[in-house]
């Protein structure tokens, strides 16, 4: 079959067969189909969309374009978690050891940050000595021995996704639910999990700006899981403000340690971690319901077992476990306080602007491959609903690049909107999407 015939078929709004999609992906990965033809196909999908069956076929073809991780030798139900990205989204650093401590094998393949969205791999690399480039043998051996392993995604996992995403980025086709859903789910399926829990963000600091868009994306991914035999549940969570108080790599590790140690400054981050972890435990048959799961996870935080598991993870991957008791060993840049010139209630936060401020300070990448400052970032000192007075500290900025402090500080001040009346703090858990449908709270 000719690629031009497949393009024309989708251009005309017709449904592609699984064979046509598989042939297209295989041909593109083998450089038999040029970028200009794949770009035409991506634009056709952008405007015409895809059926559930097409999206599932695309997802499987992308997953099978490279190495499929085999976790069958690891006992227990393997549950993977994926976040669609946000600001101060430190959930993996808390969730992975917490859920592993509850007896669920946690095998995480994570990525690096780009733009205002932080990457788990960058955060872990701020721990002195921590190795994120595990071989497949090391990855599985650690998972069997410690019930937890975290590694950087390698180029041989879903190479079709890497090629297609690079093309989407320069052809105006990133914002397409079929393409977003297949990109995310292909990596989860290739990583070998039995069941998948998705954290789909909605709000100013998320890719999906409102709940309606987030639900559509969640439904697409849950349907993919159903059609390919991987039970999937999506939790819709708020990104109306940064989830944690810290934005930046070593700063987020420090905040994760505070939660794992029971020294909680960010109740919001802890709350979302407990919610996501509870769904992971139920999916793995380690708890009969969400309430029981949450109680079990809360106990693991209180008795120190979750913190012990994090320490075990760090030591197993070459890092310095001493950071658990001496957080001062983590990198930290020079600090400057940002104070408000006004008084009022915090009624809204431009969360993306907060993320970009951290990027300006050196904590994130403005382009792929850029070197980042692992000790840079910021710590928010106010939340939606708080009353702040003139002269109060809004945020602490950490950077080794003094030339950009004013730019970042101005962006933070502009991001925090003040008003004369208090507002209700936004909900954190906005809804659930699973095979039975959608439930919004």
Q: Please tell me the distance from the alpha carbon of residue 215 to that of residue 234, in angstroms, as a whole number.
A: 9
**8 Å CB contact between 358 and 377:** yes
Residue 271 is among the residues annotated as catalytic for this protein:
no
Q: What CA–CA distance (Å, rounded) separates 118 from 354?
A: 12
Helices 249-261 & 305-316, crossing angle to 10 degrees? Answer: 140
Measured between alpha carbons, how far is 96 from 316 in angstroms, rounded to an integer?
A: 14
- 291: Cβ contacts below 8 Å, ≥ 6 apart: none
Instruction: Name the H helices within 284-404.
Output: 290-302, 305-316, 351-361
368 is catalytic: no
Q: What is the DSSP string of 158-219?
A: SHHHHHHHHHHHHHT-SS-HHHHHHHHHHHHHHTT-SEEEEEEEESTTSSS-SHHHHHHHHH
Catalytic residue among 187, 188, 270, 411, which?
187
**Candidates 80, 89, 122, 161; catalytic one:** 161
Q: Is 161 noted as a catalytic residue in this protein?
A: yes
Catalytic entry in 110, 176, 183, 246: 183
Report d(CA 270, CA 82) in Å as an integer: 17
CA distance 106 to 284: 11
CB contact at 8 A, 438 and 431: yes
- What residues pair up with 235 in beta bridges, in sequence order? 199, 432
Compute the distance between CA of residue 237 and CA of residue 207 in angstroms, rounded to an integer.
12
Catalytic residue check, 126: no
- Catalytic: which of 10, 78, 163, 168? 168
Distances (CA, A) of 96 to 162, 185, 199, 268, 314: 25, 19, 14, 17, 12
Write down the catalytic residue from 9, 81, 82, 311.
82
Catalytically annotated residues? 82, 161, 168, 183, 187
């Amino acid at each position: 079959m000719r690629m031009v015939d497949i393009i024309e078929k989708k251009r005309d709004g017709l449904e592609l067969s699984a064979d046509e999609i598989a042939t297209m992906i295989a041909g593109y990965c083998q450089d038999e189909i040029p970028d200009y033809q794949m770009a035409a196909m991506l634009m056709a999908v952008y405007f015409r969309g895809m059926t559930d069956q097409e999206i599932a076929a695309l997802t499987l073809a992308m997953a099978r374009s490279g190495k499929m991780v085999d976790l069958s030798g690891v006992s227990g139900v393997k549950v993977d978690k994926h976040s669609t990205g946000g600001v101060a989204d430190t959930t993996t650093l808390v969730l992975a050891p917490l859920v592993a401590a509850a007896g669920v094998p946690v095998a995480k393949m994570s990525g690096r940050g780009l733009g205002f969205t932080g990457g788990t791999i960058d955060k872990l690399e701020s721990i002195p000595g921590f190795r994120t480039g595990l071989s497949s043998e090391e990855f599985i051996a650690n998972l069997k021995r410690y019930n937890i392993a975290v590694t950087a995604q390698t180029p041989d996992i879903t190479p079709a996704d890497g090629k297609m995403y690079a093309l989407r980025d320069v052809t105006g086709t990133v914002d397409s639910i079929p393409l977003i859903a297949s990109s995310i789910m292909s990596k989860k399926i290739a990583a070998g999990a039995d069941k998948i829990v998705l954290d789909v963000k909605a709000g100013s600091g998320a890719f999906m700006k409102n709940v309606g868009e987030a639900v559509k994306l969640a439904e697409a991914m849950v349907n993919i899981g159903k059609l390919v035999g991987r039970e999937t549940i999506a939790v819709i969570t708020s990104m109306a403000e940064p989830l944690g108080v810290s934005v930046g790599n070593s700063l987020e590790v420090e905040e994760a340690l505070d939660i794992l140690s029971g020294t909680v400054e960010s109740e919001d981050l802890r709350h979302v971690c407990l919610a996501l972890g509870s769904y992971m435990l139920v999916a793995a048959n380690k708890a009969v319901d969400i309430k029981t799961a949450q109680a079990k996870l809360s106990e693991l935080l209180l008795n120190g077992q979750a913190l012990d598991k994090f320490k075990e993870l760090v030591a197993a991957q070459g890092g310095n476990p001493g950071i658990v008791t001496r957080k001062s060993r983590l990198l930290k840049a020079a600090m400057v306080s940002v104070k408000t010139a006004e008084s009022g209630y915090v009624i809204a936060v431009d969360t993306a602007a907060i993320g970009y401020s951290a990027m300006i300070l050196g904590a994130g990448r403005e382009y792929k491959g850029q070197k980042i400052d692992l000790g840079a970032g910021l710590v928010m000192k106010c939340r939606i609903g708080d009353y702040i007075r003139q002269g109060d500290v809004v945020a602490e900025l950490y950077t080794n690049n003094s030339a950009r402090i004013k730019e970042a500080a101005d962006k933070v001040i502009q991001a925090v909107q003040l008003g004369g009346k208090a507002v209700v703090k936004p909900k954190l858990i906005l809804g659930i999407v699973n095979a039975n449908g959608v439930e919004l709270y």
